[in-house]
Chains A and B, each alone.
Chain A
Amino acid sequence: GESVGLHLPTLSVQEGDNSIINCAYSNSASDYFIWYKQESGKGPQFIIDIRSNMDKRQGQRVTVLLNKTVKHLSLQIAATQPGDSAVYFCAEAPTSGTYKYIFGTGTRLKVLA
């Protein structure tokens, strides 16, 4: 989800349920997308990436879906665990060869015991 202002959108999920975090990206020419997880007091940690010639990619307990038609990216986390609690950022690379990654505003995931 996107938001403007001081508050991060928050997704609260029961432990063991699946989580879906959404991101709308801005540039239809973007060809590479990344999801990051940032825990309190740490830097963003790479989770999974996807190139624009794919619409789905799976990792361990995570799946990224890319819908280029509506410029939408999502991260699905299966069987959410307390350790998944963090802020999640999507990032897009507007054109091949640029170093200017564009970050989304972030979503806080809270896992409820």
Chain B
Amino acid sequence: DTEVTQTPKHLVMGMTNKKSLKCEQHMGHRAMYWYKQKAKKPPELMFVYSYEKLSINESVPSRFSPECPNSSLLNLHLHALQPEDSALYLCASSQGGAFGSNSPLHFGNGTRLTVT
């Protein structure tokens, strides 16, 4: 079991659907991340929130919309996705703040997304 919880575990959606991925952590971490991972590839950074503010957007298409309602929760809203967006979406957290990058990322087990 991980300390970062992601729901749902699996999601199948059509290209016209709207859905949301959810992530929760209770480690008191102040940085939260969304990564996308394709098969046999390393995770690719999408977004970073630091102290509930969007800190990094890696030029992600607007059909992906992140939201950080509070320091424990992170959402990823999905709309009008394409089949090539099918992937494992990973949420992660780290201590953040003064620790910056000098603390490990803690990952959830991901949401396996299939766009039909």
Which residues from chain A sit less than 8 Å from chain B, CB to CB?
6-8, 31-32, 34, 36, 41-46, 49, 51, 89, 91, 93-101, 103-106
Q: Which residues of A contact B105 (CB under 8 A)?
A: 34, 44, 46, 91, 101
Chain A residue at minimal CB-CB distance from B97: A97
Query: Could you tell me if B102 and A93 are in contact, using CB atoms closer than 8 angstroms?
Result: yes
Which residues from chain B sit less than 8 Å from chain A, CB to CB?
2, 4, 6, 31, 33, 40-43, 45, 48, 50, 55-56, 90, 92, 94, 96, 100-102, 104-110
Query: Could you tell me if A103 and B101 are in contact, using CB atoms closer than 8 angstroms?
Result: no
Chain A residue at minimal CB-CB distance from B33: A99
Q: Which residues of B contact A89 (CB under 8 A)?
A: 42-43
Q: With A43-B90, A100-B56 as given contacts, are A32 and B40 in contact (CB-CB < 8 Å)?
A: no
Q: Which residues of B contact A93 (CB under 8 A)?
A: 100-102
Query: Could you tell me if B48 and A96 are in contact, using CB atoms closer than 8 angstroms?
Result: no
Q: Which residues of A contact B33 (CB under 8 A)?
A: 99
A51 to B90, CA, bound (A): 25
Query: Could you tell me if A97 and B107 are in contact, using CB atoms closer than 8 angstroms?
Result: no
Q: With A42-B109, A45-B107, A89-B42 as given contacts, are A97 and B100 in contact (CB-CB < 8 Å)?
A: yes
The smallest beta-carbon distance between B70 and chain A, in angstroms, is 19
